[in-house]
Amino acid sequence: MKQALVDDTEDVSLDFGAEEEELALRKTKIRHPLATFFHLFFRISAIVTYLFCDWFSKSFVACFVMIIALLSCDFWSVKNVTGRLLVGLRWWNQIDEDGKSHWVFEARKSSPQNKAPSTEAEARIFWLGLIVCPLIWTGFFFSTLFSLKLKWLALVIAGISLQAANLYGYIRCKVGGQEGITTSASSFLGQQFPQRVGRTANSDLNKQTHNFT
């Protein structure tokens, strides 16, 4: 009897140690290194290129196109890939058959059966890059405005707009993602289902009328 109690105690101790080890790994380990790298690569590259573009090329058009390309790649990768992998968030826009636009903000549900695919280290990197870089572009806006370098103003506004759009979208996902999903899905289905039922009924009625005649 005593031996059985000792064995049970050892098993519980081992399990408790394994849980602590798993929790420590979850806080520090990066499970998606490629996504984490590209989450910061494009936006930092755009900032560095803006600051030192005179070293790369004397052509304003070449620098403008290069920075816009980096900002566009950053917007696409953060919106479609890194947000989903690093923090389990996703937002997008869908247009129904009537041409109405619906914004959807989605947050992955966490459950004991479904282990979190991301770690705390990845989440910190994601939010740090998502918040700091738009602030840097805002600083560029004021410096460009006060130094009267108006030819760069459109580029800086584009950088603020693209990165602020992702920041706003993911804040909506984090704060009210589930409510946004429910509202958008219910309104979308509520509009689509009666329309499709009505179209199907009209089609069947037309077929029956045609057969009768």
pLDDT above 70 coverage of the chain, percent:
65
- Tell me what the mean pLDDT of segment 108-129 comes to: 76
Residue 108 CB burial class (10 angstroms; 0-12, 13-18, ≥19) = middle
The pLDDT of residue 211: 43
Which of 4-41 are b and which e, b meaning 16 or more Cβ less than 10 Å from the residue's Cβ? Answer: eeeeeeeeeeeeeeeeeeeeeebeeeebbeebbebbbe
Give 20's pLDDT tier (boundaries 50, 70, 90): low
Please determine, for residue 205, whether its predicted confidence score (pLDDT) is greater than 70: no
Report yes or no: 127 and 209 within 8 Å, Cβ to Cβ: no
If one counts every other C-beta atom within 10 angstroms of the C-beta of residue 65, the result is: 13
Report the 10 Å Cβ neighbour count for 168: 12
- Helices 153-212 and 33-51, interaxial angle, to 10°? 130
Rounded to an integer, the average pLDDT of 12-40 is 67
Cβ(54)–Cβ(64) below 8 Å = no
Positive or negative, the CA dihedral 133, 138, 144, 150 is positive
Q: Average pLDDT of 154-161?
A: 95
- Residue 98: its pLDDT value, please? 82
pLDDT at 39 over 80: yes
Model's pTM, two decimal places? 0.68
pLDDT in tens, 41-62: 999 999 999 999 888 778 889 9
141: closest CA among 126, 160, 128?
160
**Residue 119: per-residue pLDDT:** 86
The answer on pLDDT for 125 being more than 50 is yes
